Structure formats: C-alpha cells, structure tokens
Amino acid sequence: MSERTPEPDPSTPATTTYSLTTPSTTLTLTRRLPAQDTTPQGALLIWPDTRLTSAQTCLASNGLACWLARYGFDVGVIDASPHHPGLIDEVIPSVLKQWATISGHGKFNVVAQGWTGVALASSMARAPELRRMNRGQILLGSRRHRSRGTAEATPLRELWKTIRSKVRGYEHAKPIHPMERYWLKGNPWQDSDGLDYGKSLIRGGMPPTLFVASEDAPHCTPGDAARFRDECGPHQGDFLLLGTACGFSRDYSVSDMLADPDATKEVYPRLLDWLMEY
C-alpha cells in the first residue's frame, strides 16, 4: 500500500446542491468542495446503488464523499435510482457531461456501486467520448451475471433487508431497468437495440478500473466481479477483495463498502490509495 498524507482536518467541507436535467428525468447532485488547505486532487463522481446505499450515507460527515473531500477531491454525489430505463444511453452521458461543466474538470474519477457500475461500463462501450472523460473508475460490487448458487435471497432475508433499508434510509426494490434481470440470468451482454457491449470493448476503451468484490452472495461474489472484469475487454484493471481472506477484519457486503462505520478505517484508505495513482 502506498504511503498517504496524514489524516486531514475533521471539519466538514462545504456543500452545494444542483438539479440535473437529462433527456428523460431530473435528478439531484450534491457537491462536496475540497477542504481548505488541502492539495487539489481533481474531481470525482460517486453514484451509489440506491437499493444498497443512500446518497445521504455518502454525504455524511464520515461518508466517502466527505472523507475524500478532506483529502482534496472535488466530489459530486448522485441521488437517484440507477435503474431508470434510459440510464445507459441518456442519463449517464448527460450526468457525466454536466458534472464536467460543474466541476470545471474535463476528466474526473468515478465511483459506482452495484448495478450502476454495469450501466457505467455499458455507457463507456456505447459512447466512446465518455471514456475520454473518465480518468479512472472504481466499481463496488458490480456484476452483470449471477453465478450458480447465488440465487435471490429467501423471503425472510428479503424482509430483513427491507427493514434494514428503511432504518438506514435507502431504497430497496426489485430491478426495474429492462436489461438487468435479463443480463443477470447469464444472457449475452447485448441491449434491446442489438448493440453488443462486449464486442464494443474487445479492442479496449475502458478506463483504468478497480473492481471491488466481497463474499456477498445475494449481491456479488468475487467470481461475479471477476467475470464482469473479463467481459470489459483489455484495460488496466485491478481487483480488490474486501474480506478476511485478504487481511480485512470482516467480510464486507456490497452495501457495507459505503455504509459500515469500519469502512472509514479499512475500505476508504484502500480506495484513496488507488485514486491517487489516477
């Protein structure tokens, strides 16, 4: 692990909220400006999967957005469901271009969680100009295919997750994007208009990507994340397993990567180390 700067001042960076209009929807972006007296590190966009983690969790004083802003990042957080039907071809391209204008940076990092990571990679394949804006991305527990033995949770577990979601303040719902359930069943990475995303990336084009996995069978296993990494074609990719097998104190779930209090000690520093290289 590379050496980092000392812990930053614990003060909360300034916040500004924007309403972003896309061709098919309107969503909210909250910007955490870099903390004062820090070395500027560029811009970064965080898009949590709202079924797993709320934007408010990322924006809390101990959340990833505020934590990275204390290290000098200009951070934007999207507060919207990543399951809109026009997400891949309309919403993501519009949001990335608007964030480039708001932040004033032509290139920036992206952190995407869950299904958002699959949609982001799909957008990179569909619109090559977006790849040039993405300096490097971190995909937290993103999978396009569900491995055997990782079927949907039992009704009792689903009930518990729904209760926990309401307590923590984030959305828990079934997939609504038209391609999500189809892709999770192992069908080819093709869209309804016939575009083959895998073929679009076979000659490269994905920005440097850190694939973060966990032993979280209902949402994403290490095998699921590794398979998705391989589907994304040749690119500079790294892989991180957040579990006891790799020296962590526990096996993090996909939601815990952003929501668990211990993430500030074990997960965030590893993400920061990677971001500092890109």
Residue 204 makes CB contacts below 8 A (sequence gap 6+) with: 233, 234, 235
Q: What tokens were used for 165?
A: 């979601």
Residue with tokens 């397993």: 241
**Neighbouring residues of 112: CB distance < 8 A, sequence distance ≥ 6:** 46, 47, 82, 119, 120, 137, 138, 139, 140, 142
pLDDT for res 151: 44
Number of H helices, E strands in the chain: 12, 8
Give the model's pLDDT for residue 189. Answer: 95
Task: Please give the pLDDT value at position 9.
Answer: 56
pLDDT in single tens digits along all 278 residues of the chain: 333 444 555 567 789 999 999 988 999 999 999 988 889 999 999 999 988 999 999 999 999 999 999 999 999 999 988 778 889 999 999 999 999 999 999 999 999 999 999 999 999 999 988 999 999 999 999 999 887 544 444 444 444 444 444 444 444 445 456 788 889 888 999 998 999 999 999 988 899 999 999 988 788 899 999 999 999 999 998 999 999 999 999 999 999 999 999 999 999 999 999 999 98
The alpha carbon dihedral of 76, 80, 83, 89 has a sign of: negative
What confidence score (pLDDT) does residue 146 get? 81
CA–chain centroid gap for 101, Å, is: 21
Residue 55 in contact with residue 37, Cβ under 8 Å?
Answer: no
Query: Would you call 199 helix, strand, or coil by DSSP?
Result: helix
Within 13 Å and on the Cβ side, how many CA atoms surround 254? 31
